[in-house]
Chains A and B, each alone.
Chain A
C-alpha cells in the first residue's frame, strides 16, 4: 500500500480554558489518500473544525495548541513546521473553505482580486495572468458571465455565489487537499445541493482529496468514500461510508443516522423509529476523563463505560471506540 497523502497520528489538541487545559482533540489517528473524500461527522462542539484548523496550522493563537501527535502531509510533520513552511502549503497544497460564505470574503476587495491574490502568492503569476486565470476559475465554479462578475464586490453576490468564489479561491492552485468546513450549512437547501455537486465534480476533475466536515448525513452518504464520526474530541467510529451507515458499530453513529430517516429507508429494508440522540455534548472540562464520554447519553452504558475509556475495536475496515461495539 502506498503512503497516504495525509496521516494524522495520535493527535491531541489542547485548548486553554479558565479552568486549565482541555483536550478538544484526544488521541485522533486517521489517514487520507490522494483523491478520496473523507467526511468528519458529529454534532457541533465535537472537535471537527478544530481538527481542520490544526491541519491548516490555524489553531487560535495562544488558545489552542498541538500537545501531542503528528500531522504528516506527504510524509512531513506539519506540527513541526515553522510558519513560513506552513504558509507555503496553505492555500497552495491544502486549502480550506468555511461555513460562513457571507463573511468569509473580504468586503473591500473585488472577488477577482481575492482569487488572483493566491495565484500571485503561490504560483508567482503576474497581475494579468492571475486575473485571466481568476476569470477561468470563476467560470469553472459555474458563475455565469464570469468576465463581468470578476470585478464584483462580495456584497453584490448571493451567499451561494460567494461560496462558489471561496471554492474558486481554494482550488486556484490545484491543491492536493481541500478542507470544506460545513460549506453549505449557511445556505438555502436548493443551493446546498448545487454546492455539493460542484465540490464533487471539481474534486473528481482535479483529483483533489476532500475533507468534508458536516453534520448532514445525507451529504456524507452521497459524497464521501470514508467517514470519521467524532464525539467530544474523540474518534467514535471510522470506516468506509457504506458499511458504517448500514451497520454502525457505535451507538452515537447509530443515533446520528436514525435522525435522518430517508437515509436508512434507502439503505435498509426496515422502517426505523425516528429518534433523536438525547442529551448534549459534555462540557469541555470533562473531555480528558478516563471513561466513555458518550456514556451519559447512551442506552447501553454500564459501569465499565463510565470508568474506563474504550479502545478502538476493529471490524474489517471499520473500527469503533465502544465497549459494546460487538453488541450493536
Chain B
C-alpha cells in the first residue's frame, strides 16, 4: 500500500531528525565550559581534583568526544535519558511526571485557538462589515504584539487578584477531594487563565489566516458552482468553502508546535503550572545537563509528532495531497 510506504518513510525521516537533534544537543552541551562533574561537585558542595577525576571516569567523561556521543545516542535510543543529580531521580521519571501537565495545557490551548480561530475567521469572512471582523483585526494585532507572559500577568492581576474568579497558581487544589469529575473541574478551573493566555497568540494567527483563506475560497469558481447548484448558504460555507479553506490553517497550526512549547514555558512560569517548562527553567539555571538534554529531546519529539499528525490531517482533508508521494 502506497500510503503505508509514505507513512513508513515519514517515520524513518522523523527518527533521523530526532537523532540529529540528539547529536546537536549533546555537542552543544560539550562545547560549553564545564561538565556534569562540575554540576555534581557543586551539588555536593565542592570536590577536590582527585574526586573530580573519579566522577569524570565514572561518567565516561574522560573518553574521547565521539565515543561519548555514540554512547549517549545509543542510551537514548534504548529509552535511557540518564540520571539527574540535581533532582536525584532518573530523567525519564522527571519528564513523565511533568509532561502530562504541559501536554494538557498545550493541546487544550492549541485546539481551542484553532476551533475558535476558524469559527471567527469564517464568520468574519461571511460578514466583512460585521463586528467579528473588527474583533479579528484587533485580536490579530494584540496577539502578535503583546508579550505572552505580560498578557498572563495582566489576566492574573485582573481575574485572580482584583476579582478573585480563578486560582492564582498551580494546576489543582490539594484541599479538593472527591471523584474524578470533581478533580477534573478543579483542574479545568485552574486551567482557564493559562489556556486563554497561551491560546491568545495562536488565536490571533489562526483567525487572521482563516479569514484570509475563507475570503479567497468564497471567491473561487467552485463556490460559484455550488451557488449555481442552488445549495443553501450553510451548505456552501460549511461544506464547500470551509473544507478548502482549512488546509493553510492546519499547515500553519502544524508549524506552531515549537512556538506553542516556547509559549508554554513562559505561561507555566507565570501561573506556576507544574509542567515541563518549569522543569526546563530550573534545570537550565542549575546546569543539570541530563535533564536539559532530556527535555530538549522530548520537546523535539512532541514537535515531530505534531508535524506527522498535521500531515495526516492534511491528507484527510485534501485528496490532492494524498496523490503525492
User: Which A residues have a C-beta under 8 Å from some C-beta of B?
Assistant: 56, 58, 86-92, 95-96, 98, 100, 103-109, 117-118, 121-122, 153, 155-156, 166, 169
Q: Does B319 contact A (CB under 8 A)?
A: yes
Find out whether the CB atom of A106 lies under 8 angstroms from the CB atom of B225: yes
Find out whether the CB atom of B225 lies under 8 angstroms from the CB atom of A87: no
Which B residues lie within 8 Å of A121 (CB)? Answer: 229-231, 235
Find out whether the CB atom of B318 lies under 8 angstroms from the CB atom of A104: no
Query: Closest residue to B228 on the A side, CB-wise?
Result: A96
- Given A87-B231, A118-B230, A155-B323 in contact, is the A108-B317 Cβ separation under 8 Å? yes
Interface magnitude class on chain B: 20 to 34
Find out whether the CB atom of A103 lies under 8 angstroms from the CB atom of B229: no
The CA-CA distance from A107 to B245 in the complex, in Å, is 11
Contact partner of A107 (CB less than 8 A), chosen from B226, B230, B320, is B320
List B residues 219-238 near A (Cβ within 8 Å): 220-222, 224-232, 235
- Given A153-B320, A155-B323 in contact, is the A104-B225 Cβ separation under 8 Å? yes
Q: Does B244 contact A (CB under 8 A)?
A: yes
Q: Does B190 contact A (CB under 8 A)?
A: no
Which A residues lie within 8 Å of B222 (CB)? Answer: 103-107
Find out whether the CB atom of A104 lies under 8 angstroms from the CB atom of B320: no
Shortest beta-carbon distance from A285 to chain B in Å: 24
Shortest beta-carbon distance from A287 to chain B in Å: 24
Which B residues lie within 8 Å of A86 (CB)? Answer: 230
Find out whether the CB atom of B244 lies under 8 angstroms from the CB atom of A107: yes
User: Which of B224, B227, B230, B318 is the most central at the interface, judged by chain A CB atoms within 10 Å of its CB?
Assistant: B230
Find out whether the CB atom of A56 lies under 8 angstroms from the CB atom of B323: no
Which B residues lie within 8 Å of A91 (CB)? Answer: 228-231
Which B residues lie within 8 Å of A96 (CB)? Answer: 228
Which B residues lie within 8 Å of A104 (CB)? Answer: 221-222, 224-225
Contact partner of B227 (CB less than 8 A), chosen from A58, A107, A108, A156, is A58
Which B residues lie within 8 Å of A109 (CB)? Answer: 240, 243
Contact partner of A108 (CB less than 8 A), chosen from B224, B232, B319, is B319
Find out whether the CB atom of A155 lies under 8 angstroms from the CB atom of B320: yes
The CA-CA distance from A155 to B229 in the complex, in Å, is 20
Find out whether the CB atom of A89 lies under 8 angstroms from the CB atom of B230: yes
Find out whether the CB atom of A107 lies under 8 angstroms from the CB atom of B224: no
User: Which of A58, A106, A166 is the most central at the interface, judged by chain B CB atoms within 10 Å of its CB?
Assistant: A106
Query: Closest residue to A90 on the B side, CB-wise?
Result: B230
- Given A56-B228, A87-B231, A90-B229 in contact, is the A155-B319 Cβ separation under 8 Å? yes
- Beyond A91-B229, A106-B222, A108-B319, list 12 extra A-B contacts (CB 8 Å): A56-B227, A58-B228, A88-B230, A96-B228, A105-B225, A107-B222, A109-B243, A118-B230, A121-B229, A121-B231, A122-B230, A155-B319
The CA-CA distance from A156 to B224 in the complex, in Å, is 21
Which A residues lie within 8 Å of B318 (CB)? Answer: 107-108
Shortest beta-carbon distance from A116 to chain B in Å: 11
